[in-house]
Structures are given as C-alpha cells and as structure tokens.
A = this chain, B = another copy of it.
Amino acid sequence: MNEQQTVSLADAKRVLAAGEAQATEIGQPMNIAVVDAGGNLVAHVRMDGAWLGSIDIAINKAYTARAFDLSTADLAEQAQPGQQFYGIAASNDNRIMIFAGGIPLQRDGRIVGAVGVSGGEGEQDKAVAEAAAAAL
C-alpha cells in the first residue's frame, strides 16, 4: 500500500491567492489552476480580462507538470525538434503543454500536485507560477 500526500482545496486556494497577488503586482491578468497528486483539477480562477484561450492552457500546464514531475519550462527544452521528447505534445489527448508556466508543488521533497499559469509572456507565467507554488 502507498501513502500519498496531496494538496487539499485549502492548499489550492492559498496557492491561487498567491498567484493572483503576483499577477496583480505585475499587472497581467492570468488563469491559474491547481491539480492534485493524481493530476486532477482542484481549483481554477480566471482573473478579469485574462485570455479565454488560457483557461485550457493553465489547467493543462498544471496537469503536465504533475504528469511528468517537472516544470513545463524544463519540458519545453526537451520537446523541441530534434530533442528526446519531441512529439510529446501530441500524447495524452493533447493535454501536454510544452511551454513555461507549469510547476510541481512540493512538500517535504515530495510532489503533491502542480500549479499552472497562463495569460502573459512565458516569463510572466513562470514568475506567477513560482510565486503561487511558494505559497504552498
């Protein structure tokens, strides 16, 4: 039998709130999503004015970060043409997002979920995701 730590809704809300605060600070409205250790959505917010196309992307960046236990920025490098995971974006019903903004959530060195952010430049998404993840 395995035991698994996984984010609660209360954890997810804390993560989202920190992400929202950071997005507000940089002046870029975002979609932010949290998935649990099973890769399943726990909570999502779309800030007023955030891109409609980023709903799906934020949720799937979070999914991707937990699906492979790495940041989507790191996956991006390995998913370029000629690299070892080129083509991975077509797997999992196209849910694999290979650009920055998805980060695993960790507690005591173990991954307990992930956060995904979409709504701005890649660097902005990443910065908001990091601020969000730090609030866990």
- A interface, CB within 8 angstroms of B: 1-9, 11-13, 36-48, 51-57, 60, 64, 66-69, 76, 79-82, 84-94, 96-100, 107, 112, 121-123
Q: How far is the CB of A132 from chain B (nearest CB, A)?
A: 15
With known contacts A4-B4, A11-B1, A52–B76 Cβ distance under 8 A: no
Indicate if the CB atoms of B94 and A94 lie closer than 8 Å.
yes
Q: State whether A112 touches B1 (Cβ < 8 A).
A: yes
Name the B residues within 8 Å of A7 (CB-CB): 1-2
Which of the residues B5, B68, B82 comes within 8 Å of A1, measured between beta carbons?
A: B5
Task: A11 to B7: give the CA distance in the assembly, Å.
Answer: 24
State which of B9, B41, B76, B94 has its C-beta within 8 Å of the C-beta of A86.
B76
